[in-house]
Structure 1
Amino acid sequence: MPDAWFSLSPMETGWIVLAAFFAGLVRGFTGFGSGLVFLPVAAQVLPPFGAILTMTLMDLFGPLPILRRAWSDVDRGDLGRLVLGCILCLPLGLWALTRIPPEVFQLAVGLLALAMLGILSLGLRYRGTVSRRMVTGIGGAAGALGGVAGLPGPPVILFYMSRPLPVRIIRATILLFLLSYDVLLVGYMGAFGRLEPGFALLGLLMALPNMAGNMVGGWLFRPEQEHFYRGIAYVLIALAALSGLPIWE
């Protein structure tokens, strides 16, 4: 596994570009899932902190074309509570990541993406009442998982989607929470001394195909056809997750 992105082969670079575009497409469809598509692919050729930093900087710019619409729909109270939990627990996840070998990280990312896909496909949700304190705890769980595996979405998606809210509000709140996570992660990685310039540059470059994917996904998305677009997103997540498992070796 190379220590810097410029040691990648043309084919490896091409796969990362494609993963960035399709990650943006999925996020434009659903408001989440960018990491579930991009990270299983990137983890095959980049070290853990490099893959997460690349994805984070890519995600900071990718959603910009659909940010205004999301801000008008977001549940701002829930967004604040989710971000507070993330602030508190994200450093713990990053510390744990420093103790994990790269091959374990790659396997964990693929398995987590498949597990999340299975839960979503089966329609499993938390059916109880989601209190304000629970929302903060969910943000904390997302921060911890985002630090150790680069995937903050699963706790928020599984619990938040149980709330009886319109699809547009759920989609916007999840999207803006993930954007907030990206900003926090950059700050914490700087504090951990993990802001490597090469991977930061790769993330900025991947923001271009990712932004294109977001624009296409946001333009195509229609709330009344949510199940159709969600099905496309699930297929892309499955392909990315399976590609990173050792079953192909």
Structure 2
Amino acid sequence: MELLAGYAPLQLAAALFAALGSAFVRGLTGFGMAILLVPILALAVAPLDAVLLANFLSVFIGLSEIRRLLRGAERSAWIIIALVAVTTPVGLYLLSTTTPAIARVIIAFVALSAFVAILLPRRGALEHHVATTGGVGVLSGLLTGYAGMPGPPVVPYYVGRDISRETAKASMLLIFTCASACGLASGAVIGVLDPRQALLALLLFPAVLLGNWLGDKASGHIADRSWRICVGVVLGGAAVAALWKAFG
């Protein structure tokens, strides 16, 4: 418990509720945990701590369902994962050299960009071109390191295409799990990983498991069109909240 002495009770409570709510959204939509969790945590703890804490939680929950993700993911996910592994350290290094105030603003605009992208018309084969896939991988890696959010390029890439919901969800979640692992490895390499982050993540993990389970149950009872609407609503709400808190 001494490792958590640096966190105030209000910070811990905010982290708990943010973990539960963001995990519910993850189970419902197949993404959203980092997009919702990082901006909220960044108001209670340093942005770097928020990013690494979100990475720990993403890895924990991803490993708990890794077999399902491996079975359902599209092959393009592995191309994106490889590029994320290369570019994540660059993003994390940039974050470590940025002041917290500027980092919070940039993280807020990252959330906004995902909402704008999801509003674009649904795409077909062109969106699956190798150059597009490569661009998504590079951007996702940079954002994984800088904002703990691999989702803004990845979500429109999969949700905006004519593929099944389960394929989209499995592909996104596999990428997010691997991206978060890259983020933690990069943090260890550059010396910014803190044992307190891992301990706090372990304490929050039961809330993440519960929220994810509830969201996954709810997802099975909604139509595909409604699911895509939920995706847009989640991204829009996260963007507005992040911007308001960043400039408030």
User: Do the two structures share a fold, i.e. TM-score over 0.5?
Assistant: yes
Q: Given that residues 93 and 144 in structure 1 are in contact (C-alpha distance below 8 angstroms), is that contact kept between their aligned partners in structure 2?
A: yes
1:90 to 2:88 alignment = yes
Amino acid at match of 1:139: G
Which residue matches 2:32? 33
Between the aligned partners of 1:159 and 1:236, the Cα distance in structure 2 is 16
Between the aligned partners of 2:70 and 2:83, the Cα distance in structure 1 is 20
Between the aligned partners of 1:151 and 1:183, the Cα distance in structure 2 is 12
Between the aligned partners of 1:64 and 1:139, the Cα distance in structure 2 is 21
Per-residue CA distance 1:55-82 (angstroms, 9 max, x = gap): 111111224454433332111x212101
Question: Which runs of structure 2 are paired with 1:93-242 in the superposition (5 Å)?
Answer: 93-120=91-118, 122-124=119-121, 128-222=126-220, 225-232=223-230, 234-235=232-233, 237-242=235-240
Per-residue deviation, 1:229: 4.4
Q: Given that residues 168 and 223 in structure 1 are in contact (C-alpha distance below 8 angstroms), is that contact kept between their aligned partners in structure 2?
A: no
Between the aligned partners of 1:129 and 1:119, the Cα distance in structure 2 is 13
Amino acid at match of 1:175: L
Misfit runs of 4+, over 6 Å: none
Report sequence identity in percent: 25
Per-residue CA distance 1:106-127 (angstroms, 9 max, x = gap): 122223213322432x345566
Between the aligned partners of 2:187 and 2:152, the Cα distance in structure 1 is 21
Q: Please, which runs of 5 or more residues in structure 2 have no aligned partner?
A: none
Amino acid at match of 2:136: I
Per-residue deviation, 1:194: 1.2
Amino acid at match of 1:35: A
Between the aligned partners of 1:233 and 1:10, the Cα distance in structure 2 is 32
Output the TM-score relative to the length of structure 2. 0.87
Output the TM-score relative to the length of structure 1. 0.86
Per-residue CA distance 1:185-243 (angstroms, 9 max, x = gap): 11111101111111221122222211111111112212752343454555555555444
Q: Given that residues 23 and 215 in structure 2 are in contact (C-alpha distance below 8 angstroms), is that contact kept between their aligned partners in structure 1?
A: yes
Per-residue CA distance 1:126-177 (angstroms, 9 max, x = gap): 6634223432331111001111122111111122334332111111101100
Between the aligned partners of 2:32 and 2:202, the Cα distance in structure 1 is 19
Per-residue CA distance 1:42-67 (angstroms, 9 max, x = gap): 01011122111111111112244544
SS at match of 2:68: helix
Worse overlay, 126-135 or 212-221: 126-135
Which residue matches 2:15? 16
Q: Please, which runs of 5 or more residues in structure 1 have no aligned partner?
A: none
Task: Report the aligned-residue RMSD.
Answer: 2.5
Worse overlay, 159-168 or 27-36: 159-168
1:138–1:233 Cα change, 3 Å: closer
Amino acid at match of 1:101: T
Per-residue deviation, 1:9: 3.1
| Count of residue correspondences | 244
Between the aligned partners of 2:90 and 2:64, the Cα distance in structure 1 is 32
